[in-house]
């Protein structure tokens, strides 16, 4: 979960800013958490404190109505401000970027997939939105609890989810041309490729950001997966924590105290 939040914070200043350079600083005064972190915290809160995913998302997103990066996507914002909060049939990448706590908190793969689906359905009930959430949650489970190798992950993602992971150079070419990936169909396989081609947690985040496009969400998803495989340096965790308010830190404390018990 902290891997997702770190990716979000590091990628935040590049989403609508200048293109990242290869030696960019991970943390600066221009960084902040975005809607990706708000929604990830909401999903963790829902599981840890027995809330519905819908209610937790509404609560946290109303607490932080104007996060960095332009706030929330247009369809999500419409859902957030609607009177009945009915699902929007979205296949945006938001379902996948917020799902990481589920991959950690549930130890049985059937529960991981079922809860990932439930976490997506309040807003992203399109089959592609659900698939993106299920895939990322299950990849985290594969890496953390089943100790899959990267090559096994790539093969099983293709077999069970139909994602053909693009070549890294093709992702970077799209980003350099100004393409903004916003769907699960694009961002999920891109983020997984960034992880698979990396050699450390920090390298994963850097690759994801250098691919440009939706930098915070791509780095959020890639960082979530990388946390299940690599050790995150403590100094990177400490730097990221500075950006988070107390109520988010409280959920993080609860998460890292309670995980593995559900």
Is 8 part of any known ligand binding site?
no
Is 111 part of any known ligand binding site?
no
pLDDT of 259 reads 57
pLDDT of 258 reads 64
pLDDT of 163 reads 98
Q: Give the whole-angstrom CA distance, residue 260 versus residue 20.
A: 36
Q: Find the distance separating the first CA and the last CA of the chain, reported in whole Å.
A: 16
Average pLDDT over residues 166-174: 97
Is 29 part of any known ligand binding site?
no
Q: Is 92 helix (H, G, I), strand (E, B) or coil?
A: strand
Other Cβ atoms closer than 10 A to 153: 22
**Structural domains of the chain, ranges and CATH numbers in brackets:** 2-23+31-258 (1.10.4080.10)
Is 59 part of any known ligand binding site?
no
Is 216 part of any known ligand binding site?
yes
Nearest to 39 by CA among 84, 4, 70: 4
- The model's pTM: 0.96
Q: Is 68 helix (H, G, I), strand (E, B) or coil?
A: strand
Local confidence band at 262 (pLDDT 50, 70, 90 cut-offs) = very low
Is 45 part of any known ligand binding site?
no
Percent of the chain's residues with pLDDT above 90: 92
DSSP state of 183: B
DSSP 55-113: HHHHHHHHHSSS-BTTSS-HHHHHHHHSSS-------BTHHHHT-HHHHHH--SHHHHH
Q: For residue range 135-161, what is the model confidence (pLDDT) as tens digits?
A: 999 999 999 999 999 999 999 999 999
Q: Which residues contact 131 (CB under 8 A, 6 or more apart)?
A: 161, 184
């Amino acid at each position: 979960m902290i891997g997702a939040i770190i990716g979000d914070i590091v990628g935040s200043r590049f989403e609508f800013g200048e293109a990242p350079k290869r030696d960019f600083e991970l943390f600066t005064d221009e960084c902040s958490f975005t809607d990706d972190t708000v929604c990830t915290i909401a999903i963790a809160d829902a599981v840890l404190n027995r809330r519905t995913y819908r209610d937790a998302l509404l609560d946290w997103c109303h607490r932080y109505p104007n996060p960095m990066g332009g706030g929330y996507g247009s369809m999500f914002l419409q859902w957030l401000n609607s009177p009945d909060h009915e699902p929007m049939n979205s296949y945006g990448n938001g379902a996948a970027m917020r799902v990481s706590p589920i991959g950690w908190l549930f130890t049985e793969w059937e529960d991981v997939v079922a809860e990932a689906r439930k976490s997506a359905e309040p807003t992203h009930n399109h089959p592609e939105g659900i698939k993106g959430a299920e895939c990322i949650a299950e990849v985290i489970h594969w890496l953390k609890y089943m100790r899959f190798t990267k090559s096994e992950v790539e093969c099983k993602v293709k077999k069970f989810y139909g994602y053909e992971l693009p070549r890294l150079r093709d992702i970077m070419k799209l980003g350099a041309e100004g393409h903004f990936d916003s769907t699960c169909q694009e961002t999920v396989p891109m983020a997984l490729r960034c992880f698979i081609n990396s050699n450390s947690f920090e390298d994963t985040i850097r690759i994801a950001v250098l691919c440009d496009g939706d930098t915070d969400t791509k780095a959020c998803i890639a960082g979530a997966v990388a946390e299940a495989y690599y050790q995150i340096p403590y100094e990177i965790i400490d730097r990221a924590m500075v950006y988070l308010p107390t109520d988010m830190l409280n959920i993080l404390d609860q998460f890292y105290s309670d995980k593995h018990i559900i």
